Amino acid sequence: MKSYHGGLGVGIAGIVQRRHDEPKPGKHEVLIRVRAASLNARELMILAGQYSLPVKPDVVLLADGAGEVITIGDEVTRARIGDRVACAVFPRWIGGRFGWEFAAQIGGSLDGMLTELAVVDEQAVVAIPEHLSWEEAATLPCAGVTAWNALSGLRAPVPGETVLVLGSGSVSLFALGFAKLFGARVIATTSSDEKAERLRRLGADDVINYRSIPEWHVRVRELTDGRGVDHVIDVGGGGTLARSLMSTAVEGQVAAVGWLANEASSIDIKAIAGSIATLRRIAVGSRAQFIAMNRAIAVSGMHPAIDSVFPFADAVSAFRYYEAGKSFGKVVIAMP
């Protein structure tokens, strides 16, 4: 069987494919025939040497994947052969709050999903919604769970509240979809009228083109009768935080998601002092959140947005395409 390996700072050019013998699961492990995997910004950060959590040398790449359980260890109770599963990015973060003892992560300090056969601890394994294809299910662990946690991890939206999502990255698209499931009104920002139209089709009630309206927080206030929004999913860091805070209602929440740890920018302290809001930095989410999210997806029949699917043999092209930053929805690699 074949896997793609990489490491901290090796670049896309440093990705190598290797052949291995078929692995055997330990007593609490399962062997998964991976059917699809998908890409996240963290992969590019790892390859660029900018990732802040530990990465093992020559790691099998990619946190996100889905497949079928084909063998299980002697004492496994959470999975059966034939189960359709994905893996939690932090297999040991079962529920409750995050902590460093749960920081081992798939496709980082642990081997990942860009492989034909993956052995994972049974705790990592989460059943996927039946109506999703392998490609769709492979998009959930990182971007899906992050969006779910960002929206609902502190104080979930209540129907009738307003959620602001910035841009059309995958976390934002998931957050848009989930916010609608929570009964929220959604305002999205984007850079082009074409993307605006796609965001509307995904359920956005209002879309603001931040190129034509650079002071988009003013527009957000207008759209909410001056009240501001209850939740912001801020994926922009220093470039957006001040405006996000100026967009929030009293006692609103801003979730800080996927910011670059080495971004060289700053925010005026007045932006924080002048709002009565809560800013929350998050790190993906727990297995319990993954399960809750899957239940929401299953009951609603929602489908994740997919931009494109590359064959396993051409996985490196998927990295190059994703790096170019033109995708709308997830970039997926499908196994034969």
- Contacts (CB under 8 A) with a copy of itself, residues 122-181: 123, 152, 154, 156, 158-161, 178, 181
Would you count residue 251 as binding a copy of itself (CB under 8 A)? yes
- Nearer to a copy of itself by Cβ, of 181 and 309: the residue is 181
Stretch that binds a copy of itself, among 82-90, 136-144, 195-203, 269-277 (CB under 8 A): 269-277
| Residue of 235, 230, 239, 224 whose CA lies nearest to 152 | 230
Residue with tokens 């995958």: 170
Residue 275 contacts residue 245 (beta carbons within 8 Å): yes
Q: Count residues near a copy of itself (CB under 8 A).
A: 73
Identity of the residue numbered 45: M
Residue 62 contacts residue 38 (beta carbons within 8 Å): yes
Would you count residue 4 as binding a copy of itself (CB under 8 A)? no
Strand partners, 110: 106
CB of 87 to a copy of itself, least distance (A): 16
Q: Which helix (H) or strand (E) holds 301?
A: none
Residue 259 contacts residue 109 (beta carbons within 8 Å): no
- Nearer to a copy of itself by Cβ, of 19 and 100: the residue is 100
Stretch that binds a copy of itself, among 64-72, 135-143, 260-268, 306-314 (CB under 8 A): 260-268
Would you count residue 183 as binding a copy of itself (CB under 8 A)? yes
Looking only at residues 11 through 70 of this chain, which bind a copy of itself when binding is defined by CB under 8 A? 26-28, 52
Would you count residue 286 as binding a copy of itself (CB under 8 A)? yes
Residue 218 contacts residue 187 (beta carbons within 8 Å): no
Would you count residue 280 as binding a copy of itself (CB under 8 A)? yes
Residue 322 contacts residue 23 (beta carbons within 8 Å): no
- Nearer to a copy of itself by Cβ, of 11 and 95: the residue is 95
Which residues neighbour 166 within 8 Å (Cβ) at sequence distance 6 or greater? 172, 188, 189, 232, 233, 234, 235, 236, 240, 244
The single residue among 194, 197, 268, 314 that binds a copy of itself, judged by CB under 8 A, is: 268
Q: Which helix (H) or strand (E) holds 21?
A: none
CB of 315 to a copy of itself, least distance (A): 28
Q: Which helix (H) or strand (E) holds 307?
A: strand 306-311
Six token digits for residue 78: 């959470």
The single residue among 49, 238, 311, 313 that binds a copy of itself, judged by CB under 8 A, is: 238
Would you count residue 9 as binding a copy of itself (CB under 8 A)? no
The single residue among 19, 57, 201, 273 that binds a copy of itself, judged by CB under 8 A, is: 273
Would you count residue 276 as binding a copy of itself (CB under 8 A)? yes
CB of 30 to a copy of itself, least distance (A): 14
CA angle (164, 167, 170) in 5-degree steps: 100
Would you count residue 299 as binding a copy of itself (CB under 8 A)? yes
| Residue of 178, 289, 158 whose CA lies nearest to 230 | 158
